[in-house]
Amino acid sequence: MLTSLSEQGPASQAELGRRLWIDRSDLHALLAELEQDGLVARIRDERDRRRNVVTLTRAGRSALARLDRRIDAAQDALLEPLTPEKRRELSRLLQKLLDVR
């Protein structure tokens, strides 16, 4: 959710659920937890007062940066046995799988 908000920008709760294929009730629970931790904010949409727009907070951006560093370190450890050429090939093949979706 943090990555989606960072890469694709703020979104209504409904739009965020569609982006991430998360059921509405599950989304509400996840957002409540992230909001309680100060990682996201739900703000009333000025154009449509019935909607909440979910935004990433400064703390959310910091948490995402920490998570990205941990993911990068784990990926480096996993791929360490591969040569740079083999890493590029694996990345290309994985992207091919994603492109089929």
pTM: 0.80
Contact indicator for 11, 54 with CB cutoff of 8 Å? yes
pLDDT tens digits for 30-48? 999 999 999 999 999 888 8
What one-letter code names the amino acid at 60?
A: G
Domain boundaries, the chain: 2-100
Query: Which tokens hold the place of 83?
Result: 């040569």
CATH code: domain 2-100 is: 1.10.10.10
At residue 101, the pLDDT reads 67
Calculate mean pLDDT across residues 70-96.
95
For residue 81, the SS3 value is: coil
At residue 50, the pLDDT reads 83
The residue with tokens 């480096």 is: 76
